[in-house]
């Protein structure tokens, strides 16, 4: 996680929404983020097969 943060800090401009990342991290930490792993896996397969 620290290396990812360092990479973000090193970039002048980024396509990453830091506020959204922080929000997602907080949701993961609190357990309030629920992920449909079956749907996620299906979507990933579709994405990488195209």
**What pLDDT shows up at residue 50?**
76
Q: What is the pLDDT of residues 30-47, one digit of tens each?
A: 999 888 999 999 999 999
Provide the whole-model pTM.
0.47
Going 8 to 9 to 15 to 18, the CA torsion angle's sign is positive
Please report, for the chain, the start and end positions of each structural domain, with discontinuous segments joined by +.
Answer: 19-50
Percent of the chain with pLDDT over 90: 54
With beta carbons less than 8 A apart as the criterion, state whether 8 and 16 touch.
yes
CA dihedral angle for residue 15, residue 19, residue 25, residue 31, rounded to 10 degrees: -130
């Amino acid at each position: 996680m620290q290396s990812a943060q360092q990479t973000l800090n090193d970039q002048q401009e980024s396509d990453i929404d830091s506020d959204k990342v922080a929000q997602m991290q907080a949701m993961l930490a609190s357990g309030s983020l629920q992920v449909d792993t079956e749907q996620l896996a299906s979507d990933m397969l579709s994405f990488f097969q195209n």
